[in-house]
Amino acid sequence: MSKTATEIEQPDAEQDDTALFGFWIFLMSDAVIFALLFATYGTMTQATAGGPTAAAEFKLVPTFIETLLLLTSSATFGRASVAMKYDEPRRVLFFWLFVTLGLGLVFLGFEAKDFADMFADGAYPSRSGFLSAFFALVPLHGLHVVAGCFWLIVMIVQVRVIGLDRRVKLNLLRLGLFWHFLDVVWIAIFSVVYLGGHIA
């Protein structure tokens, strides 16, 4: 019984497939949330109520660095997935996971600095509808990154404590999807919000 019991804990390939499929659907649902916030933001770009405007507040250099950080972290996560797939030594996997986590945290640091600068300029959400829409959209992505980093920490602990059983692998795959999804959303934010803010 005990032998079978450990076996049944591990989902088979078909269940893996279902689990990933379910996660894709979740991401679609999440994408709808971002799409709606983008649309809302789009309708409110002129609602500055005499307060700070996009052109004055959005800094392209730090956000471009943030873009590079996040893109790199997607690549490093990809490298970690490869390490997991081909059963490379555990320390390789750990190394790339930690690099990804580090990049994620640095990204969050940069973003926090951006927001702090904006607040110092008087560009806080209660100032105008435009800033409200901005702070509803961009920090939500930031919150997703926070959740992603937390999840990454949990997964690092799980790899350490449990090892790479099928469920841990499955959850790493799902986290990978999530991480790449955040990248895509960020590219949309960078293009629509930051670049768009300067063009308009």
The footprint of another protein (CB under 8 A) covers 1, 4-6, 8-9, 14, 17-19, 21-22, 25-26, 28-30, 32-33, 36-37, 39-40, 43-44, 46-49, 51, 125-130, 132-133, 135-136, 154, 158, 161-162, 165, 167, 171
Provide the minimum distance between the beta carbon of 79 and another protein in the complex, in angstroms, as a whole number.
24
Cβ closest to another protein, residue 5 vs residue 199: 5
Cβ closest to another protein, residue 9 vs residue 117: 9
Cβ within 8 Å of residue 155, ≥6 positions away: 97, 168, 171, 172, 175
Provide the minimum distance between the beta carbon of 158 and another protein in the complex, in angstroms, as a whole number.
7
Which residue type occupies 99? V
Is residue 180 within 8 A of residue 77, CB to CB? The reply is yes
Is residue 151 within 8 A of residue 174, CB to CB? The reply is no
Provide the minimum distance between the beta carbon of 145 and another protein in the complex, in angstroms, as a whole number.
16
Helix axes 166-188, 13-44, angle to 10 degrees: 20
